[in-house]
Amino acid sequence: MAKKDNFKKIKYEERLLNEINGLLRAGTNDVRLARVSITKVELSPDYGYATVSWDTYDSGTRGDAKTAIESAAGRIRSELAKVLEVRHVPSLTFVYDNQFEEEKKIMDLITASKDKNTSENTEE
């Protein structure tokens, strides 16, 4: 039974992710949310709370985007209630997801290491 419940939870998380992204694209007039993308949704075991991870394509506007998405959280939840047709929509907590920035840092370190090794090999 656990696998079936886990599958149901994963599908519900995916649906939340897609619906929230759709609402950000079409359902808001706030220009600060135009470059925000939802990267991940994690539901609590009782489906009462959802942690929504987001990122922005322009890291310079992260502060404005954070303010905008936090102020729109209630509106997003009420729109989800209309679209999802479920008895209870989870409470949404938005957190910034810096995975792409961390990935870029790691790639820069790898590139720098390769460049250093290449220059050391050519000096020999």
User: Is residue 1 very low, low, confident or very high in pLDDT (cuts 50, 70, 90)?
Assistant: very low
CB atoms inside a 10 Å sphere around CB 41: 22
Determine the average pLDDT of the residues in 4-13: 86
What superfamily does domain 2-123 belong to in CATH?
Answer: K homology (KH) domain (3.30.300.20)
Distance CA(25)–CA(37), nearest Å, equals 9
Distance CA(70)–CA(100), nearest Å, equals 21
Percentage of the chain modeled with pLDDT above 70: 86
Q: Which residue reads 């995916």 in tokens? A: 14
| pLDDT over 90 (residue 118) | no
pLDDT of residue 85: 84
- Average pLDDT over the chain reads 84
Query: Pick from 95, 83, 80: which is nearest to 36 by CA?
Result: 95
Query: Pick from 70, 58, 60: which is nearest to 34 by CA?
Result: 58
Cα separations in angstroms, 101 against 3, 77, 107? 34, 28, 10
Distance CA(34)–CA(56), nearest Å, equals 9
Amino acid at 87: R
Strand partners, 40: 53
- The string of pLDDT tens digits covering residues 18-68 is 999 998 888 777 788 888 889 999 999 999 999 999 988 777 778 888 898
Q: Which DSSP state fits 90?
A: P
Q: Which DSSP state fits 96?
A: E
pLDDT of residue 122: 61
pLDDT of residue 120: 62
